[in-house]
Homo-oligomer: A and B are copies of this chain.
Amino acid sequence: MPTQKQPTQSPATSPVARKQKKPPAPPSPERRAELLGIAAEVFAEQGYNATTVRKIADAAGMLAGSLYYHFDSKESMLEEILRTFLTELWDGYDAVLAAPLGPRETLEALVTESFREIDRHRAAVAIYQKESRHLVTQTRFEYLLESQRRFEKTWLTTLERGVSDGVFRADLDVRLTYRFVRDTVWVAASWYRPGGGHSPEEIARQYLSMVLDGIAVRA
């Protein structure tokens, strides 16, 4: 006895296909995106677990229950936030990787692209940093693992290419270097404020300068 069939029982009485009753109107994508943005802010600020749906609703100027018109659950909001971010992140990375660049230029482009993503998805990045570790244990978030593996492979390959080509130092532990660069870049999301003094490109340049040449004055 499917719930949705109910309207079909008396279709003759209503010849005009009037808006279905149960999902009265597919919640507008714009509103969804708006609400997800708000939710992401709160998640990033307070942590996913510490964020109650009531806090999100407050921030959105509605009541907690009303969110369920737009989303299945609190978790699905989180999922959509992270998935959206990762999708766009890989769009950017893929564009970089498709270009015929040397290892050093690739690294520079990846870092720059990363800061651009931080600029656009600051909240999502912050959430990712804080929550991904324990989310990956849930089947629903397995795609995080895939992304992580691809990410690691991308960076390791780039670094190794650089070492082979003689543009990166060979005396460093590549895994350690990978973590070093990765953390260095992404942790910025915890303090970066879009619209602050620095553009993503500027920050990228400074970071690259440090990472590539070090902070010590050359002998």
Contact = CB atoms under 8 A, between A and B. Distances in A.
A171 B209 CA distance: 10
A141 interface: no
A179 B207 CA distance: 10
Interface string A154-190: 0000000000001111011100110111011001101
A24 interface: no
A62 B215 CA distance: 50
Interface residues of A, number: 42
Contacts of A183: 183-184, 187-188, 190
A167 B169 CA distance: 21
Interface string A24-57: 0000000000000000000001110110000000
A145 interface: no
B134 A216 contact: no
A213 interface: yes
A163 to B, nearest CB: 9
A104 interface: yes
Contacts of A130: 47, 130
Contacts of A173: 206
Given A179-B187, A180-B210, A184-B184, 7 more contacts: A130-B130, A172-B209, A180-B207, A183-B183, A210-B211, A211-B214, A214-B214
Interface of A: 45-47, 49-50, 104, 130-131, 133-134, 166-169, 171-173, 176-177, 179-181, 183-184, 187-188, 190-191, 198, 203, 206-207, 209-218
23 contacts: A46-B134, A104-B216, A133-B190, A166-B217, A167-B217, A168-B215, A169-B216, A169-B217, A171-B209, A172-B206, A177-B215, A179-B187, A179-B191, A180-B184, A180-B210, A183-B184, A187-B187, A210-B214, A212-B215, A213-B214, A213-B216, A214-B214, A218-B218
